[in-house]
Amino acid sequence: MESSESSPADVVARLQTDRPHSARVWNYLLGGKDNYPVDSEVGDVILSTFPEFAAVARLQRRFLARAVRFLVREAGVRQFLDIGTGLPTADNTHELAQRIAPESRIVYVDNDPLVLVHAEALLTSSEEGACAYVDADVRDPERILAQAAKTLDFSRPVALTLLGIMGQISDDDRPGDLVSALLAGLPAGSWLALSDGTNTNEALNTAVAAYNHQSANTYHLRSPQEISSYFDGLDLVEPGVVATASWRPDPDAPETDAPDVSVAGVAAKH
């Protein structure tokens, strides 16, 4: 496992265990143990307002699995740039891809120090492939692309995965421009797989507002139309940008517990 350089002192200084962090709250909602009391407390506030939120967290993980399997099996992708990785859990991107194509190469990107510590320990590649971690913010696409190029071959297609990460970017930071900048650095034949939360459910809006009031990070729910605009100029595969549960659902594992509060899509770059 390769990683960009961060000293142990830097990591400890950035942990901010007195404030909830999105990756740790998400981990709590998924039933993990890599979180602090402040994270579980705000997670409980979210669940008290919008009890289905844990189902939303699981929904995005299952979309990741379906999207990666499509990209490896049907699109022939062997390289992934996974931004907003979050804390490692079951069926991470490299495990999903390398289970089908062991030669797959994956670069994970996150700026949460706890994610960095766990990634270095747990995200280990197959012998045939490669797995690297970049400690960077999605607001810095130039750094991400430069670091990723040390592991990925940018003369061949790369699948960019952005699950729940663009909602963490404010309008002032122009999330659509960040998606465009990342895609601009990837070769023709590359792909985008993206899912994000929508502002169409008042209970979820209230829960996210409570989270934003307490957290070191803020989340920005957007309309399905705004999220769809991230795919402008790309070739969407069927069924397009749809409710996350409806994107090529697994007939053997239907999304029976999934509230319709996020959309997802997969598209190719010309």
Q: How far is CA 178 from CA 49, 77, 138, 188, 213, in A?
A: 31, 22, 7, 18, 25
- Give the global pTM: 0.86
Give me the pLDDT at residue 23, please.
74
User: Among the listed ranges 121-125, 134-138, 214-218, 256-260, which one has the minimum average pLDDT value?
Assistant: 256-260
More reliable by pLDDT, 181 or 218: 181
Give dist(CA 123, CA 92) in Å, integer. 8
Give dist(CA 66, CA 241) in Å, integer. 14
Does position 56 have pLDDT exceeding 90, yes or no?
no
Q: What is the mean pLDDT of residues 18-30?
A: 76
Does position 268 have pLDDT exceeding 90, yes or no?
yes
pLDDT digits (tens, 9 = 90+) for 83-118: 987 766 678 899 999 999 999 999 999 887 777 777
**pLDDT bucket at 2, cuts 50 / 70 / 90:** low
More reliable by pLDDT, 258 or 12: 258
